[in-house]
Amino acid sequence: MIKINENFKKMKPNYLFSNIAKKVAKYQEENPDKKIIKMGIGDVTRPLPKVCTQAMKKAADELENAETFRGYGPEQGYDFLREKILENEYKDLGIDKDEIFISDGAKCDCGNIVDIFAKNNKIAITDPVYPVYLDTNIMAGRTGICKDNGMYENVIYIPMTEENNFVPLLPKEVPDIIYLCFPNNPTGTVLTKDELKVWVDYARKNKSIILFDAAYCAFIEEENIPKSIYEIEGAKDVAIEFKSYSKTAGFTGVRCAYVVIPKTVKGYDENGNVEDLNSMWNRRVCTKFNGVSYIVQRAAEAIYTKEGMKEVKDNINYYKENAKIILETLKECGIKAYGGKNSPYIWLKVPNSGKSWDFFDTLLEKVNIVGTPGEGFGPSGEGYFRLTAFNTKENTIEAMERLKNFLSK
């Protein structure tokens, strides 16, 4: 008889975005003439830089000829891409080529990384949070069940709210694995170098590890905000970093990302012996993965050309312009809002101390705008709401006009 992984039963039955999709589909079916503007899901809308699609076509042509054909590539990724990453993202940070592993997405990386850690590690997540960190640990059996307050047993929740200005405070109980994501999804807020250093020092003191998700680093415009955790002194001993081309270069459908595991990051076995996490991850990658396609890695390489960098920057500025429009409108309407500066996400406080899902329904039905209820990202997200800057400028302007009109009534 086939036994299932019982941990799956601990998962909440519906994924946040499928709930939203159902509500939107129902409303649209009942109101076919209404134009709904979607500012919910974190997917990009700007097309790929042309140098990237051209690099893909060229790579495809190479595969047509026996002389230039390529089969399996290195599991860790091609050197041509790893070298470009070092040069452009980790200059002067002392990272080594074989500390970089190319993958097909930061979501998979964040989910797969738990393979190399013992089941009895205690995890800490910020609340609200990108759901992948929590759900993959539920599946792996590292949590208890979900309590009535919406929190899982055996997980340390670190609230990020207005009260602490969205800067996570050190928890009372010491975690083994700490998930941090900055610029943050969903709140759009950032940490300064000093604020992040507090966490690096804490991890060093406690022999914990920080899993640092920097998927939105390209949106950072302020000087003292770290684009990589390795800008913080001492982080190379305690942090693994995840980066992705999805939100930065429009690769959500193309799929390419990478994880950085310095050889100096250590874990400990049951007897307290030191183990090298870079080797463990390398072993895992070679066992379960056969690399990202050659075509896609050539496309990623092209991002680092002069034209590629310019197009990426233009696209990011396009989204940021939208974020600015949203922030300004919310301010005019007297709605408190956070993020949106070094990030494509705007995290707003639901007016009149309202609930996230009620605000979702109101926006959908009265203004025909779709956003994401903060509660869907964790209990501390209740009372907040996420809007994204990933729509077109025209739609963003229209949505904000509608919102202004609705709220002034």
Ligand X SMILES: *Cc1c(COP(=O)(O)O)cnc(C)c1O
Considering only CA atoms, give the Rg of the chain.
Answer: 22
Closest to ligand X by CB, 20 or 403: 20
Site for ligand X in 14-43 (CB under 6 A): 42
Question: Residue 327, class by beta-carbon neighbours within 10 Å (0-12 exposed, 13-18 middle, 19+ buried)?
Answer: buried
Count of residues that bind ligand X according to CB under 6 A: 14
Site for ligand X in 137-196 (CB under 6 A): 181, 185
Q: Report how far residue 294's alpha carbon sits from residue 58's, in angstroms, rounded to the nearest whole number.
A: 11
Contact indicator for 347, 188 with CB cutoff of 8 Å: yes
Closest to ligand X by CB, 254 or 326: 254
Give bridge partners of residue 106 from the DSSP assignment.
none
**63-71, 140-148, 226-234, 243-251 -> range binding ligand X (CB under 6 A):** 243-251
Closest to ligand X by CB, 256 or 337: 256
Minimum distance from residue 255 beta carbon to ligand X (Å): 7
Minimum distance from residue 214 beta carbon to ligand X (Å): 9
Question: Residue 377, class by beta-carbon neighbours within 10 Å (0-12 exposed, 13-18 middle, 19+ buried)?
Answer: buried
Pick one of 89, 127, 213, 301: the residue that binds ligand X (CB under 6 A): 213
Strand order in the sheet with 337-339: 337-339, 345-349, 384-388, 372-373
CA–chain centroid gap for 125, Å, is 13
Closest to ligand X by CB, 374 or 402: 374
Closest to ligand X by CB, 215 or 323: 215
Q: Report how far residue 400's alpha carbon sits from residue 326's, in angstroms, rounded to the nearest whole number.
A: 7
Residue 246 engages ligand X in binding (rule: CB under 6 A): yes
- With the C-alpha atoms ordered 134, 137, 139, 141, is the resulting torsion angle positive or negative? negative
Closest to ligand X by CB, 294 or 377: 377
**Binding letters toward ligand X, positions 78-117, x by CB under 6 A:** ---------------------------xxx----------
Minimum distance from residue 180 beta carbon to ligand X (Å): 10
Closest to ligand X by CB, 107 or 298: 107
Q: Report how far residue 380's alpha carbon sits from residue 160's, in angstroms, rounded to the nearest whole number.
A: 7
**23-31, 65-73, 94-102, 242-250 -> range binding ligand X (CB under 6 A):** 242-250
Q: What is the 3-state secondary structure (H, E, C) of 14-76?
A: CCHHHHHHHHHHHHHHHCCCCCCEECCCCCCCCCCCHHHHHHHHHHHHHCCCCCCCCCCCCCC
Closest to ligand X by CB, 15 or 268: 15
The two structure tokens encoding residue 306 = 């002069």
Minimum distance from residue 132 beta carbon to ligand X (Å): 7
Q: Report how far residue 323's alpha carbon sits from residue 391's, in angstroms, rounded to the nearest whole number.
A: 10
Pick one of 215, 259, 316, 367: the residue that binds ligand X (CB under 6 A): 215
Site for ligand X in 118-137 (CB under 6 A): 130
Residue in the structure block whose two tokens are 């807020």: 189
Site for ligand X in 255-314 (CB under 6 A): 257
In the complex, the residues that contact ligand X under the rule CB under 6 A are: 42, 105-107, 130, 181, 185, 213, 215, 244, 246-247, 252, 257
